[in-house]
Amino acid sequence: MITSFYHVHRQRLPLCFLSFLLLLLLASANSISFQKTRFEPTDTSLIYEGGAAPSVGAIELNSDAYQCQVGRATYAEKVKIWDSKTQKLSDFTTRFTSTVDIQRRLFYSSGFTFFLAPVGFQVPMNSVGGFLGLYNITTMNSTNQILHVEFDTNSDPQWDPLFEHVGININSLSSSTYTRWNVTLHTGDNADVWINYNGRFFLSGSQLAFQLLQDYVERHAILSWEFSSSLGTEETNQENARKIKLVILVVLAACVLIGAVIIAFGVWWTKKMMKGIKETINLMSINEDLERGRGLQRFSYNELASATSNFSSDTALVEGGFLSVHKGHLTHLNMSVAVTKYIWGSKLTKKEYITGMKIISRLRHRNLLQLIGWCHEEGKFLLVYEFLPNGSLDSHLFGNRTRLTCDVRYRITLGLAFALVYLHEGLEQCVVHSDVKSSNIMLDSNFNAKLCDFGLARLMNHELVPQNTGLYAAQGYMAPEYISTAEASKESDVYGFGVVALEIATGRRVLDSIEDRPEMNLVEWVWDHYRNRTLGLAVDRRLNMGFDERQMECLMIVGLWCALLTKM
């Protein structure tokens, strides 16, 4: 909505009341205000084009010489009058004082105009005269976004009324509304112009300017100019309040989030520190326990590194998982040893180590692998065991090492049984090994069995129920109830013993497929022979006929008793 008034010496001539609608172009708005009572050449807030220039504190829109020219003075900043967030439109008011002097000539030029146009609007080619410097023959009928108030001193009958006038033009050379203006009567007078703009009808992303349209010479000057928009009042305050609330909410949410992260990190760090402290205390307790007259020796890391050629691959016996085992020689003891070096990284490694050490430190039995010493130095954890040249049981049963005779197999089975009886019944607390398998049974020079690897072992009172330890034992050696409940017990150790006994008697791995019965595992296969009274056919063929058939059958029956207790 626009209401415009033209003032001549306090006489107010009302222009008519007009509504119009234009397209939205920009998505933001800012209030703007300025007041200029003089126009200096050094003022960079105005841009002069064509014949316009500052002169003696005023804007001269044209020179005195006769010439067809356009003079334009444009406010340099963008005038944004729509806020896309609040959908609010800006009103504005502008006032200026101007002078039109026809200089006693009979012919007038085309006058001047105040206009509002999109940012970047350029003076069209061939737009002098009645085209107002805003249109030309090509664009006069096209869709434009130009609002202008024209002070027309020379009527063009093609689109103007037949008299001088002040008109409001919307995207057109034809005035939407106008009033008579006798320029002859007021030539050289100062005229105060006041324009109110209602933002409900708007051009978005606009520039303010005065423009002169001249065919014949007459003087046009702007003596002062002031402008203010209303967006910075109530709407802006409301938007600022909303922004402040939003900022407060964002800050509060960020504080809550940061606080939660800090608390969570603190809890995690505290738990980690407490876990580390607990592990340190446990290790200190173990060190004290080991040093308290148990016949174990404390080694330095350098000493063990030297004994194993700095843990080179040439001395490696076992590599993988969270530990490596290296063969070494301790010169001062003139003894070959197996050094187990723990490699941290597994989530259970330290827990397993501490648990295993607590158990190993109190064990002494001829059928358990003998611990000689340890090293806890600078975060490194190593255990030193006696070295057994014959390696593990599985390397003989399933590999290419020395073939085990019937008597040796029987003795190995008895040795394993003695070890489990000692663990289950021979101590104040029951020790559940949880990982009885052929690769954890070492053989000394006389092929006596020595059970090792207590990383998964657990201590419990004899009368207590099984403990939930998780499923970490080897597949095929776990009892069905262990698989379903994850609770290790003496019975689950006995199941593992039964499977190992069947492996010793048959020379087959527990998970090897059977040639004629691929759907069966070892336990089911031996059980099938037992039901068919053909156990002799299940004996390891590598024994040829050099075995006591009755003895081997008894061994397999014992294995079945342990592995299939409910079926026997």
pLDDT in tens, 448-489: 999 988 766 676 665 554 555 554 556 778 888 777 777 778
For residue 568, tell me if it sits in a domain: no
Residue 208 exposure: Cα atoms within 13 Å on the Cβ side: 24
Q: Are residues 325 and 199 in the same domain?
A: no
The model's pLDDT over 64-100, given as tens digits with 9 standing for 90+, comes to: 665 677 888 888 887 776 666 666 777 778 888 888 7
Q: Tell which wins on pLDDT, 110 or 195.
A: 195
Strand partners, 167: 150, 178
> What is residue 146's predicted lDDT score, i.e. its pLDDT?
82
Number of domains in the chain: 4
> 39: which residues sit within 8 A by CB, 6+ positions away?
46, 54, 57, 58, 59, 222
Question: Which region, left, alpha or beta, applies to residue 92 given φ > 0 means left and ψ of -120 to 50 means alpha?
Answer: beta
Q: Which residue has the higher pLDDT, 98 or 412?
A: 412
Tell me if 45 is assigned to some domain: yes
Query: Does residue 217 surpass a pLDDT of 50?
Result: no
Statement: residue 339 has pLDDT above 90:
yes
The confidence score (pLDDT) of residue 185 equals: 77
Residues with Cβ within 8 Å of residue 364, at least 6 apart in sequence: none
Confidence of residue 230 (pLDDT cuts 50, 70, 90): low
Range 306-314, long-range pairs (CB < 8 A, 24+ positions): 307/331, 307/337, 307/339, 308/339, 311/339, 311/341
Reduced to 3 states, what is the DSSP secondary structure of residue 420? Answer: helix
pLDDT at residue number 220? 65
Q: Are residues 140 and 204 in the same domain?
A: yes
Q: What pLDDT is attached to residue 162?
A: 82
Q: Are 180 and 163 in contact (CB under 8 A)?
A: yes
Span between the terminal Cα atoms of the chain, in Å: 102
- Asked if residue 496 is part of any domain, the answer here is yes
Q: What gap in Å lies between CA 508 and CA 539, rounded to an integer?
A: 9
Same domain for 519 and 416: yes
160 or 16, greater pLDDT: 160
Q: Output the pLDDT for position 35.
A: 86
Q: Nearest to residue 100, comparing CAs of 182, 179, 178?
A: 182
For residue 337, give the CATH number of its domain: 3.30.200.20
The reported pLDDT for the residue numbered 9 is 32
pLDDT surpasses 60 at 346: no
**207, 75 in Cβ contact below 8 A?**
yes
Q: Look at 210-219, 273-282, 352-361, 452-461 and tell me which has the smallest mean pLDDT.
A: 210-219
Residues with Cβ within 8 Å of 36's Cβ and at least 6 positions away in sequence, in order, are 43, 224, 225, 226
In terms of domains, do 250 and 378 share one? Answer: no
| Other beta carbons within 10 Å of 397 | 25
95 and 221: one domain? Answer: yes
Residues 215 and 329 in one domain: no
Look up residue 251 and give its two tokens.
């800050």
Most confidently modeled of 8-22, 134-148, 504-518? 504-518
Highest mean pLDDT among 93-102, 143-152, 273-282, 398-407: 398-407
pLDDT of residue 144: 67
Q: Name the token pair of 562.
A: 């342990």
Q: Looking at the structure, do residues 312 and 342 belong to the same domain, yes or no?
A: yes
Most confident of 175-179, 477-481, 506-510: 506-510
Q: Would 168 be classed as within a structural domain?
A: yes
pLDDT of residue 29: 44
Domain boundary among 230, 248, 269: 230
The whole-number average pLDDT for the span 301-306 is 93
d(CA 509, CA 512): 5
Does residue 567 have a pLDDT over 90? no
More confident residue, 235 or 115: 115
Looking at the chain, the whole-number percentage of residues with pLDDT higher than 70 is 75
- The backbone torsions φ and ψ at residue 412, rounded to the nearest 5 degrees and listed phi first, read -65, -40
- Could you tell me the CA-to-CA distances from 360 to 364, 372, 440 in Å, in that order? 8, 11, 15
pLDDT of 13 reads 30
As beta bridge partners, residue 75 has 46
Q: What confidence category does residue 17 fall into, taking pLDDT thresholds of 50, 70 and 90?
A: very low
CATH of residue 54: 2.60.120.200
Place of tokens 């085992």: 325
Q: Quick one: pLDDT band at residue 393, thresholds 50, 70, 90? A: very high
Indicate if the pLDDT at residue 174 is higher than 70. yes
pLDDT of residue 12: 31
Cα–Cα dist 426/419, whole Å: 9
Q: How far apart are CA 548 and CA 409, in angstroms?
A: 11
Is residue 276 located within the same domain as residue 398?
Answer: no
Range of the domain at 455: 393-563
pLDDT at 326: 93
Residues forming a β-bridge with 147: 116, 170
Q: What is the mean pLDDT of the chain?
A: 78
Indicate left, alpha or beta for 364 from its phi (over 0: left) and psi (-120 to 50: alpha).
Answer: beta
In a domain, 443, yes or no: yes
Residue scoring higher pLDDT (238 or 263) = 263
435: annotated active-site residue: yes
Hey, what amino acid is at 223? L
Instruction: Tell me which of 143 and 169 has the higher pLDDT.
Output: 169
What's the mean pLDDT in 492-517?
88
Confidence class for position 197, pLDDT limits 50, 70, 90: confident
Least confident segment among 134-143, 212-221, 305-314, 457-466: 212-221
Q: Compute the distance between CA of residue 518 and CA of residue 247 in angstroms, rounded to an integer.
A: 70
Res. 352: pLDDT tops 60: yes
Same domain, 202 and 174: yes
CATH classification of the domain holding 460: 1.10.510.10
Contact 339, 384 (CB under 8 A): yes
In a shared domain, residues 538 and 472: yes
Task: Point out the domain boundary residue: 386, 421, 442.
Answer: 386
Flag whether pLDDT at 428 surpasses 90.
no
Q: Is the pLDDT of residue 423 over 80?
A: yes
Tell me what pLDDT residue 188 has. Answer: 77
At residue 400, the pLDDT reads 83
Residue of 83, 152, 435, 493 marked active site: 435
The helix/strand count (H/E) of the chain reads as 9, 29
Per-residue confidence (pLDDT) for residue 303, from 0 to 100: 93
Return the pLDDT at 501. Answer: 96
Answer yes or no: do 114 and 71 share one domain. yes
Q: What is the rounded distance in angstroms from the CA atom of residue 108 to the CA atom of residue 104? A: 10
- Reported pTM: 0.52
**Residue at 547 is within a domain:** yes
Q: What percent of the chain has pLDDT over 90?
A: 24
Domain boundary among 352, 386, 420: 386
Q: Is the pLDDT of residue 23 over 60?
A: no
Residues 41 and 172 in one domain: yes
